[in-house]
């Protein structure tokens, strides 16, 4: 089995060299990009298993690179930034990042998070043949497909994963923090508005669908997929 490949995109050569050293010691192969345009090109050419993506880069910033990658791929992305504002974390989540670390960071912690994200990604792939169906709705992770009233609806990957998770656990209430952990994989404390944003977008898609289910807010707690 060939070694897993990680794309390191950061304009700080010291960080790049340090990560390259640690990752290769752990048995990964690495690809380097020193700016956003290089990162987009390297991703398309090398098809890495995971991307470590700095936010503040020349040519194109990490947000732009993340958006470009998410147009075609669900490859795991871990964002790195020197800024710790909640807004950055929320934006990273909404754009489809899988994890987030603020500089300076412990290299061992980043390695542990990389392994955890790759494990979750592998588990997701193995489970991807599963489909959850109720009256007039079907959520399929194998082909990331949502059907409403028999029609295929376009939906971003994270919205579909959130809906799939809730529908796979009918009538069970989850807090926003639990949903962040389960769907985004974040060991995350702080602002959880991103869950509310995704629920709002899901409700807009589901509002004209009649069925024996509803996406329900449990005030003061969180959300549940209620089946009557």
Structural domain boundaries enclosing 120? 5-126
Same domain, yes or no, for 12 and 115? yes
Same domain, yes or no, for 12 and 112? yes
Same domain, yes or no, for 20 and 89? yes
Among residues 105, 126, 147, the one where a domain terminates is 126
| Residue 40: both structure tokens together | 């987009």
pLDDT of residue 85: 56
Handedness of CA 112, 116, 195, 43 (dihedral sign): positive
Among residues 88, 111, 126, the one where a domain terminates is 126
Closest CA to 31 of 60, 62, 10: 10
Q: What CA–CA distances, in Å, run from 27 to 5, 21, 23, 127, 228?
A: 9, 10, 7, 26, 50
Q: CATH number of the domain that 153 lies in?
A: 1.10.10.10
Give the number of domains in the chain.
Answer: 2
Q: CATH number of the domain that 14 lies in?
A: 3.40.50.2300
Separation of alpha carbons 11 and 57, rounded Å: 6
- CB of 48 closer than 8 Å to CB of 24: no
Same domain, yes or no, for 117 and 22? yes
Among residues 75, 97, 126, the one where a domain terminates is 126
pLDDT of residue 129: 54
Same domain, yes or no, for 197 and 99? no
Same domain, yes or no, for 9 and 121? yes
What are the pLDDT tens digits along the chain (228 aa)? Answer: 467 899 999 999 999 999 999 999 988 999 999 999 999 999 999 999 999 999 889 999 988 999 999 988 889 999 888 766 555 667 777 778 888 888 888 888 888 888 888 877 765 655 555 888 999 999 998 788 999 998 999 898 889 999 999 999 999 999 998 888 788 775 555 457 889 999 999 999 999 899 999 999 999 899 999 998
Closest CA to 12 of 60, 44, 53: 53
pLDDT of residue 94: 76
- In sequence order, the β-bridge partners of residue 51 are 7, 77
How many other C-beta atoms are found inside a 10 Å radius of the C-beta of residue 183? 21
């Amino acid at each position: 089995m060939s070694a897993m490949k990680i794309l390191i995109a950061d304009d700080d050569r010291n960080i790049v060299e340090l990560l390259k050293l640690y990752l290769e010691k752990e048995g990964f192969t690495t690809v380097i990009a020193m700016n956003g345009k290089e990162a987009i090109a390297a991703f398309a050419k090398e098809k890495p298993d995971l991307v470590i993506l700095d936010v503040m880069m020349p040519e194109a910033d990490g947000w732009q690179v993340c958006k470009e990658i998410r147009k075609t791929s669900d490859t795991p992305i871990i964002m790195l930034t020197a800024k710790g504002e909640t807004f950055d974390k929320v934006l990273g989540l909404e754009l489809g990042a899988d994890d987030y670390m603020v500089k300076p960071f412990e290299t061992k912690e980043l390695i542990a998070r990389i392994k955890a994200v790759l494990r979750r990604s592998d588990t997701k792939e193995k489970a991807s043949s599963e489909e959850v169906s109720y009256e007039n709705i079907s959520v399929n992770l194998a082909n990331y497909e949502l059907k409403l009233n028999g029609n295929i609806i376009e939906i971003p990957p994270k919205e579909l994963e959130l809906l799939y998770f809730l529908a796979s656990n009918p009538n069970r209430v989850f807090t926003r923090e639990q949903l962040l952990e389960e769907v985004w994989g974040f060991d995350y404390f702080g602002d959880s508005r991103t869950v509310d944003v995704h629920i709002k977008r899901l409700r807009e898609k589901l509002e004209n669908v009649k069925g024996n289910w509803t996406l329900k807010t449990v005030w003061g707690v969180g959300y549940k997929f209620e089946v009557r």
